Every structure is written in structure tokens, then in C-alpha cells.
A and B are shown apart, each in its own frame.
Chain A
Amino acid sequence: MGFSSSTEPVISCRDLRKQYKGRGGIVNAVDGLDLDIHRGECFGLLGPNGAGKTTTMEIFEGLLQPTSGDVEILSMRWGQNDSELRQKIGISLQETRFTERLTVFETLVLFRSFYRNGHPPADVMEAVGLGEKAKSWVGKLSGGQRQRLAVACALVGDPLLLFLDEPTTGLDPQSRRHLWDIIRNLREEGRTVLLTTHYMDEAEHLCNRVAVIDHGKIIALGSPAELIVGLGGEHIVEFALANGSVASNKDLADLPAVKEARADGNGIALTVTEPHIAIPALLQHLQSRRFELARLTTRNASLEDVFVNLTGRHLRDDELSSF
């Protein structure tokens, strides 16, 4: 997997930094980011809330000034080729509220009018499945439909590069699937897409490559499969003991086919290469110590496990704290 870097990168940044003055002194929202994103990639910036994803995105979009560092978009730079760049990128911001008393079609026509070249609004409306809503007021749309309208507004100028900031946050599962289909189609058309998300499954489904970001730094970079393989085992065995008993992580990690053991909520999660070897060994181990099993599940490892493995935290442990 992975993309060859023979093509000129569409987005390239070196030692990107953004500092804010916070209450407790200076906050490094982006802390020395190096990144190359290539043509045709669907690239995911992953991380918990406040990791610096949106700040990074907005610097790429030319909406924020970096404190320092070098950014090149489509071989151009913000501050030099702004109007040209704006013609070639499409953006869906986190939570834009479009004018409620305009129709879907009118909104798309308005956005289309800003671009020199682009798609007919009616075509874009069909592409995101809003054809039947052409004459509906934006105020009457559901959350999923509004999000699709936001993506349509990003597409209407026929961009070479698309930025989608948390396109599915807060949507119900069906609406998320619908948006995933749309984004997958964009990828198949060969467009370059940069998206942020804190849903690991979303990144696994959509992205060729992801960068896991925490506290403004990239802590892992690669295709979802590569990152999961990097855990050393592709399966996760989770169990909990009855009566709140505690088993030693150290003993568990020494079991055959177990790569790692960590506490997870009120239970324990094992990273395992071969479950058919690890599970019998685990059961025997627990029985010999007279522990009683409350639950035992096994599943494939996910990017969530990669994040937990790297940071010791779950992605959405701290929804409320930022930075």
C-alpha cells in the first residue's frame, strides 16, 4: 500500500507551527508538522478533539496564518497566489450554517457563481443525492442533508483538492454511510481529498493514508493497514474478571501469541497475533489462578487500538477538554 512519492505533492508542509496565547501561557496547537500529500490520495488527519487537526486544515486552506513553517499547496503559496488557489480548492468547514431561507439549488448557484469554472449546480446536487431537495429551503434539511450540501458547495467549483473538516461528525449511521459513498466516489474520480475525523472507522473505510495527530504532532503515519500491522498483532482479545478481580498485565503479556496487555476500562485488552493459541492459554492462566471470567470478546484490531497503543488514551476519552 502507500502512495509513491514520485508525483509532485499536492500539499507539502515543513516544520509547521501554530501557537496561540492561551490562559495558561502559549499553546502549541500545531507543533512541528511535516507532511506530503499526493495527487489522488484520500488522506485522513486523525486525532481527538483539540489535537490540532482543524488548525492544520485551516492553515492549508489559507484561512489561518501559521506562526512559522513552510506550506505549499498545488505548488503555490498563500500570500502569493491566493486567488488562483481559491479557484482550485474546495472546502467544507466544520459547522457552516447556510442561509436557511434559500433553497438547495439557490445555495449551489450562489457558490458556483464565485468560480471561473465548475460543474452545473444541478449535476452536483445529483452527485450528493440532493436532487429531490432542489427546491427545499436549507432550513428544512436534516443534519445529513445539510452536510451533503456543504460537500456539494465544496465540489461545485470542480476543485483539484478538497478539504473536508469532520464531514460526518454528529450524523446518524445511515447519513454517515451515505457521505462515505460520496467521498469514495470522489476518490475514485481521482480527486485529492484531505479530511479530518475523530472516527477511526471512518478513516479505515475512506483513507489511503492517515496521519494520527495528538497535541499538534504526528504520532503515526501510514495506510490504515500498515498502522494496524504495526501493532504486532491484528486481533484484540478483551476480557473482564468477575468481582472486579485484577490480573497482572505483566503475566498476561508473557502468554503465547500475546504481544501486549493493557488495562481498558474495567477490563483488559490483549493484542494478539493468533487468537486460537492465545485464548486457550489465557483461559488456562485464569483458571490456574481461580479467576472467574465475566466476559470475553475478540475482534480485529482497528486504528482506535493504534491510537490507544500510542497514547494510552481512547480517541474520544476527553471530548470536552481541548488542547
Chain B
Amino acid sequence: MTNYHPFRELLKARLREFIREPETIFWVYAFPVLLAIGLGIAFRNRPAERVFVDVQQHAAAENIAGNLRQLPDFVVTIHPQPECMERLRLGKSALVVIPGTSITFLFDPTRPESILARQRVDDALQRAAGRRDLLPTIDQHITEPGTRYIDFLIPGLIGMNLLAGSMWAVGYVIVDMRVRKLLKRFVATPMKKSHFLWSALSGRLAFMVPELIVILGAGVILFGFPIRGNVFSILFLSLLGTISFTGLGLLAACRAQKLETVSGIMNVIMMPMWLLSGVFFSPDRFPHILQPLIQALPLTQFNDALRAIILEGAPLSSQLWRMALIAAWGAISYLCTLRWFRWN
């Protein structure tokens, strides 16, 4: 007679359910790749932005405009005063140059491109007036793989996806089972609760590996994304991250009796991390006062560690502190789950 092991059967059930759900396959595997392609195209390295500068109508206007048109990427036009004001207000121009005995620059100091334009226009006009630079300088441009936006983005997308996948595949699925009274039905059998929880975690880890391969593979094939670190270090960190994030998913599912509730809880957990933890842009851009909070989030540490390993080829041993913080989040989540989890 065939012998069925409960852990193996629970895991098989979980894998089958996942594979037979086309929507999940899309969200877990196709969506991050599409996102990478979309953002990769949107932020691909392009020639520098064109800068629009207006010169106010004046006897000397044509002369000034002529000087400024020498600048690469500058679009310079002459308009009467009211029109200059209107164009500046609407953001059609970055800077208005008002000729006179002294030249006036009119701009909004909170717009970075305006400040840039002011510096370069000032520079060009000073030189035209005869200024000589004393120190020779050379510009060197970097566009090689490893320093582009897409290179920053891909590790962030992996972090985001591992977090979201763990929350949905464990948190949502468990609450769904609770709503369907299936959890209660399982508890009414001799099933060991540990088998159930282990199978949920193992199922999640099994799906994580292809997730990692798909996103990294798409990066390498489509964008020439460089993988400088050890593959096993990447895998180990991803395993650790997934285990920890699965803990958060279990915690979210602890007591929720409705799918709406668990969706809300998961969004409350995930949204701040997607925003603050350096998925799409560096968390350094947030105010200083937020930094301790941002650094305490597991996804921040995961993304930073993953970037260090993949892009800089850093060894795992250099990321111990970050991994400890990720593990601590996981440990706390699992302990709380054991304490509060409601089976029926």
C-alpha cells in the first residue's frame, strides 16, 4: 500500500495549486520582467536633456542669444517680456535672461534644471565677455554596465518581488484557506500544524528560485546586466530574505478573517518598504530624520546587500550585519505567528 507523507502531500498540493493558477504565474514571473523592461526603456541613458532658455526682447538680445546657442543642448529663443514670464511659469523654459547694463537671470530656485541652466548661461556669457579659465578640466562620461539606472533597478525589483511574492503566496493563501474553512477542516484531522507551516514556507522557497532566475536572466539578456558577485551568495541572501519575508506574510495572516483584511494589512507592510527601501530610487533622497527608520526595514537591508553582492562583487561576509537584521525580522515574525496564529 502506498505510503503518503503529510509534509510531502501538503507541499505537492501547494505547488500544484500555484502552477494551475495562470494569474499568479503572471504576477510573480511576467510582471517584474515587464516592469524592468518598461522602466529600463523609460530611464535608459539618453543624450542630456535639452534646456530651454528665453531671452527677453532688447537691443542686445540677439547678441546674447547668439552666444548661448553655442552651448550644446541649449534651445534659445527671444520673446517679449509678458510671453517670457508666461513660458517660465508654465515650465516651458527653465530660465529667462533679461539683458541690460547688468544681466538679470529670472528663474525658480526650486527647479534643478533652472539652477543648472543659470550656471551654464552665466558661464557662457562670462566667457564671451572675455573671462579666461585658469585651471584646465576634462569631462569623462561613464555609461558602462553596472552604473546605469537599470543596474540599480534590477536588484530592487528582486527585493520587491520576493517580498510581495512571500506576502501573497503565504499570507493571502492562508487567509483564503481560513475563509474557506479549509484550515479548520485540516485542524480536524491528525495533521501536524508544523507540517502545514513548513510546507507553506517550502512551497514559497521553491517558487523563489525561478523568480530569481527569471528577473536576473531578463536583466542579463535584455540589458547586459552585470553579475559580479558569487551566484551562491546571491542565492543564500535570497533564501534568507524569502524566509524572513514569509514570516511577515504569516504574521499578516495570523488572525485576519477576511481577504480584505489581510490585503489591507499586507499593503500597510509592503507599501512603505516599496517606497522607502530603495526599490526604484535610492533611500538617501529621503530626509535625514527618516534614515534610522529606513535603515531598520528588512527590505532596505536586503536591497543594499543584494546590490553590494551583485554589482560590487562583495562577499557574503561583508554583509553580516545586514543579514542579521533581516534574520531578526524573520525571527520576530515567526515567534509572533506561533503565539497568535488562529486556526479556526
Contacts and interface: CB of A to CB of B under 8 A. Distances in A.
A141 B184 CA distance: 21
Interface in A73-121: 83, 86-87, 91, 93-99, 101-102, 106, 109-116, 120
A112 B13 contact: no
B132 interface: no
Interface of B: 1-2, 4-6, 8-10, 12-13, 16-17, 20-21, 180-182, 184-191, 344
A137 B16 CA distance: 11
Given A93-B181, A153-B185, 4 more contacts: A93-B184, A97-B181, A102-B17, A113-B8
B123 to A, nearest CB: 66
Contacts of B189: 86, 91, 111, 114-115, 157
B190 A93 contact: no
Contacts of A86: 188-190
Contacts of A94: 181
A112 B190 CA distance: 10
B185 A99 contact: no
13 contacts: A63-B184, A63-B188, A86-B190, A87-B190, A91-B189, A97-B181, A99-B13, A101-B21, A110-B10, A111-B189, A113-B5, A137-B20, A153-B185
Contacts of A93: 181, 184-185, 188
A112 B4 contact: yes
Nearest to A94: B181
A41 interface: no
A120 B190 contact: no
A118 to B, nearest CB: 9
Contact of B181 (A96, A113, A115): A96
A109 B4 contact: yes
A116 B184 CA distance: 20
B191 A102 contact: no
B51 to A, nearest CB: 56
A162 to B, nearest CB: 12
Contacts of B13: 99, 102, 106, 110
A305 interface: no
A93 B183 CA distance: 11
B17 A120 contact: no
Contacts, number: 70
| Residue among A94, A95, A109 with max Cβ neighbours from chain B (10 Å) | A109
Nearest to A82: B190
A113 B184 contact: no
B16 A101 contact: yes
Contacts of A120: 1-2
B249 to A, nearest CB: 18
Contacts of B184: 63, 93, 96
Contact of B182 (A91, A98, A113): A98
Contact of A99 (B5, B17, B181, B188): B17
Contacts of A98: 180, 182
A85 to B, nearest CB: 9
Contact of A97 (B182, B187, B344): B182
A151 B283 CA distance: 55
B197 to A, nearest CB: 15
A61 interface: yes
A35 B122 CA distance: 97
A170 to B, nearest CB: 15
Contacts of B20: 101, 137
Nearest to A99: B17
A114 B2 contact: no
Q: Please provide the 7 A-B residue pairs with the shortest distance between their CB atoms, ordered closest to farther.
A: A113-B4, A97-B180, A86-B190, A113-B9, A101-B20, A114-B189, A114-B191
B190 A115 contact: yes
Contacts of A157: 189-190
B6 A113 contact: yes
Contacts of A101: 16-17, 20-21
Contact of B190 (A96, A109, A110, A116): A116
B304 to A, nearest CB: 38
A91 B20 CA distance: 28
B188 A61 contact: yes
A114 B344 contact: no
Contacts of A114: 6, 186, 189-191
Interface in A139-154: 153
B9 A96 contact: no
Contacts of B188: 61-63, 86, 91, 93
A101 B188 CA distance: 22
Contacts of B187: 63
Interface in A38-72: 61-63
A259 B239 CA distance: 77
